[in-house]
Structures are given as structure tokens and as C-alpha cells.
Amino acid sequence: MGEAIVITSGKGGVGKTTTTANIGTSLALMDKKVCLIDTDIGLRNLDVIMGLENRIIYDIVDVIQGRCKLQQALIKDKRFDYLSLLPAAQTSDKSSVTTEGMKEIVTELKQEYDYIIIDCPAGIEQGFQNAIAGADRAIVVTTPENSSVRDADRIIGLIEKEDMIEPPRLVINRIRNHMMQNGDMLDVDDIVQLLAIDLIGIVADSEEMIKASNKGEPIALHPNFKSSISYRNIARRILGETVPLQSLEEEKSFMQKVKAFFKI
Amino acid sequence: MQETKPTITIKGTRDGLILFIDENSSFEEIVQDLIKKLDESSPKKEEPVVSVKVKLGHRYLTEEQRNQLKKIIEEKNRFQIEAMESEVIPIKDAKTWLDQSKLKVVNQIVRSGQVLETEGDLLLIGDVNPGGRVRARGNIYIMGNLLGIAHAGTEGDQEAFIAASYMKPAQLRIAEYISRAPDYEADGVYMECGIIDPDQNKIVIDSIKILSKQRKVISAFERRMNNG
């Protein structure tokens, strides 16, 4: 019996979909059977980031309205056998999905998969309610900005009312180390203290991530990037391992090291 | 036949008259006897107004019945009813009374968009995050960070106050007073309280030490007993 994890944030554009894609990919890399569900009806993105857009035949609304079987709508990832995607509908409106429909789909998927990662739409309306309906756990994504932390706080309040196995856990995304050190960005500790939930990972902002998203290849596939390791660490923590937080310290170039040594 | 106690007894004191009404007779009896008794003495016009206290004993009167008695007593005579005292109150009133004087202890984080409201005093063990709101008819004590909005004395109690371990609120409200955080970036303060300063006629934030001087009776129950 698998476990369903919803990735949510409240505010848009903080990296829910990227996080979903990368956590899913990382779990699949560790030989777990993973199914990703995109619940952002009308504004689907997960398929694009995964590079699976042109393989979509049926979507989640087709499944809920009985136009196809769940197995028919699932798309196998081109890189792993262990990873599947249930895409959102692009043409229907959000009201075509109900919480009951979502619960049924998630329950069915749990029989076959180890992890079901649900990508939640922004906002706190029906789409959000649908996304969290079938979930056992929640991961809240935020960035070190006041507005996004405020929305995360609101979302955590709403999730705490649902009966989940444990309180939501936090991913702080798009960290720019030099800004955080200068005090221009909220500090990781401050955010964790305010939101008062467990931190499950921090991810630094990087250009590679944008490049990877545009290529339709989750960055978690390329272990030579720092953010890739961040996502893999999150996946390991989901599996219950204890992994220390990565240092955000940027690698210094050789010349910088020499300069630092001579204190120039 | 047994000698019956008079239904109405009138006693004169220095402060005015006290009207004892026997608690064992029916309301109709009282009304009749009262009219009879009051008719015996018809006052002159020049007489000063006498204040009257009505003691009802263990008798509960509805608002309507109270008004009826008031009318009978005040109509023909130069009497002014000062108070009607009864030893009993309905269970419903007693319950709200109790609720309003209780200290409610809540252990939670009041997050953005959440509102925590209590009938009496509130002791919150946890934070009030930005965008969160706590409201209480009485005082608010927060063992944690107050970063959102706190409203004490929601029903107009100006004696109410707000105390917090760490205070950096967006707004403090006490009764109908509102104060907000300054526009410049300021650090929060530890172990302080918000209280209405009658001299400045606004909410001030000061060390919680001043409470021992300015708010001697903190317990909501004692406050109710004193102020009714």
C-alpha cells in the first residue's frame, strides 16, 4: 500500500511543480514506484517539466468522468519504468474534478505505487481542496519572501484541519545564499520558527534549474548540480533516512581561495 | 388558621426605603398587596423623591414583571427605584456569566487567516502569526510571539489588556481603541503589555510590570463580581 504526498504552497510561482517533478524523479531513482498527479486543471505544467507533453492522450478529467480507465490515462516516463504521470486536463474547467473522484483515483493508485506525488494548484479554492483530499502527508513549499511565507502559513493552517498522518513538512525553495547572508532575504531559521513545522529540505536558486525545466528534464537526473542533490536529499528524508542539511556555501573558485588565503 | 407573614414589608433606612417582598406568595398576590399598601400613603407634592430598594429574595422575575412592579411603585408616589435585587438568576445567565469569567487555555499556533475567539480571558500557549487574529472579551495573555492582531475587551471593556512574551503586533485593539505598528521597521519587545492609558487616551505598550499597579484585579471572575 503506497503513500500519497501533496505538494502545495498557496502562493503561485514558488516552485510546486518543479518540486513535484524532482521529488518524484528522485524517488524513482531510488527504485520506488512513483506516480505523479497534476491537479492544476486548466493550467497544467507538470507534463511540460517532465517532458511528457506530447504523449498525453487522456487526462484526469477523462478518468473522473468515465471516458477512459485510469490505466489508460497514465503516462509512463520515457526514462524510467518506475515513474508515471497522470496529467491534468487543459480544456475542462476546475469544477469537473470532485474531492470524491480524487480520493478514488488516489486509493486505486496506492494499490500499485509506493508513492503518489500530487501537484497542487495555487490558491485555496476547490482545486486545493481536491488536491489535498486523497493525501496522507503534505509538503509545503515556500520561498524566502514575506508574501510566500504568509501564504504558506495560511495553507498550513488549512492542512492542519484535515486528518493527515503527520503535520505538513516544509521545503524552502529558491534560496540565494548571498542575499540571505546580507539579511536581504528571510533566514531559513526565521522561516522555520515562524511556520513552526519540520523542515524537510532547502533548495538553492540556480540557473541550471531553469534550463532543466525548459528542456523537460528534471534537474534531479543530473547529480553534478547542487539543487539536484537537494532534491535527492528530500527524497531520502521522505524514505525516513536522516540526512544533514546541505551547506548553502557557494563553491569558491581557485583564484578566490588563493585571494582568501593571502587575505587580499 | 396560621398567622401569615405579610407579603410586603417596608423598612426605612438612612439611604431610603427598602421594600422586602415575600418570596412565598404568588406574583398576583404581591401586585394586589403592593397596590393596597402604597395607596395607604399618598404623598404630598412637595415631598422629596425617596429612593427605594426592592429586595426580591429567592424570587426570579421576568423583565415584564419587573417593569410592572416598577410602574406600580413609581407611578403614584414620589418614589424612585434604585435597585431590584434578587438572590437568584436563571441558569442560562449563570452559564454565560461563568463562560465570560473563565480563563480559556488554548494551545495552538494561530496562523494567517485564522481567528481564535473566546468569551472570557484567553491564555494562548503558542504564537499568533502575521495575518492571524485573537479576540477575547477579557484579557489576552500570549505565551509566544504576537505578530498578528489581538483584540481584548471585544464587548467594550476598557480595562482589558494584552500581554505577550514577545510583542510585534500588526495591530492591538482594546475595546474600541486601535493602534497599529509603526511604518518604520522596528524590533519587537519582550514581556510587554498593551493597555489603555486614560491620560493619553490611546493604547500604550509598556513593560508588564506596570500591570501590578494599574490592573490590580486581573482575575476575570473577581472583575465580574466587582463590576456586575
Domain ranges of chain A: 3-261
Whether the predicted model's global pTM rises above the 0.80 cut: no
Helix B27-40 × helix B63-76 angle, to 10° = 10
Q: Tell me the CATH class for A3-261.
A: alpha beta
> How close B181 comes to chain A (CA, Å)?
17
Is B127 within 8 Å of A154 when comparing Cβ atoms?
Answer: no
Per-residue pLDDT in tens (0 to 9) along chain A, 264 residues: 899 999 999 899 999 999 999 999 999 999 999 999 999 998 899 999 999 999 999 999 999 999 999 999 999 998 989 999 999 998 877 678 899 999 999 999 999 999 999 999 999 999 999 999 989 999 999 999 999 999 999 999 999 988 888 899 999 999 988 888 888 888 999 999 999 999 999 999 988 888 888 899 999 999 888 899 999 999 999 999 999 888 777 666 777 777 777 776
> How close B146 comes to chain A (CA, Å)?
11
What are phi and psi for residue A95, nearest 5 degrees?
-70, -10
A33 appears as a binding residue in the annotation: no
Contacts of A59 by beta carbon, 8 Å cutoff, 6+ apart: A44, A73, A86, A87, A88, A89, A90
CA distance B164 to B206: 11
Is B127 within 8 Å of A194 when comparing Cβ atoms?
Answer: yes
Helix A126-133 × helix A99-112 angle, to 10° = 30
Position B1 scores a pLDDT of 47
- Does residue B109 have a pLDDT over 70? yes
CA distance B152 to B134: 8
Grid cell at residue B163: 500581554
Is B129 within 8 Å of A194 when comparing Cβ atoms?
Answer: yes
Inform me whether the C-beta atom of residue B109 falls under 8 Å from chain A C-beta atoms: yes
CB distance B158 to B136 below 8 Å:
no
Inform me whether the C-beta atom of residue B168 falls under 8 Å from chain A C-beta atoms: no
Position B89 scores a pLDDT of 84
Is A156 within 8 Å of B111 when comparing Cβ atoms?
Answer: yes
ipTM above 0.95, yes or no: no
> How close B217 comes to chain A (CA, Å)?
33
